[in-house]
Amino acid sequence: MKEYEFHEAANIFPLDEEHLDELASDIRQHGQQVAIEIMDNQILDGRRRYLACKKAKVNPRVIEVSVDDPVAYVRSLNLYRRHLSASQLATVAARAEAGMPW
């Protein structure tokens, strides 16, 4: 299985590893339903899917994407589909504003 690192932009959001075992089991049983998005050979979207695939010992299905603004792209994909607390939203905003979370 090819190893991928997480893109810096992906890390503006917290990595929720809750229910990772269940996701791995589902992927093992039903396959990976949504591709992991890769940019510059790093995971831009799909960190949990990637970790679940590794846990399930399934080669992840990936697609290469090219975006002008990775932070804006990740924010657009994740900001409204996640159930984030107010403090998590503030952390995401601060990390995005800084350009990179580190």
Assess whether pLDDT exceeds 50 at residue 102. no
With 0-12 / 13-18 / 19 or more C-beta atoms within 10 angstroms meaning exposed / middle / buried, residue 37 is buried
Assess whether pLDDT exceeds 50 at residue 101. no
pTM: 0.78
Minimum mean pLDDT range among 57-61, 72-76, 95-99: 95-99
Interior/surface letters 69-90, b for 16+ CB within 10 angstroms, e for the rest: ebbebbbebeeeeeebeeeeee
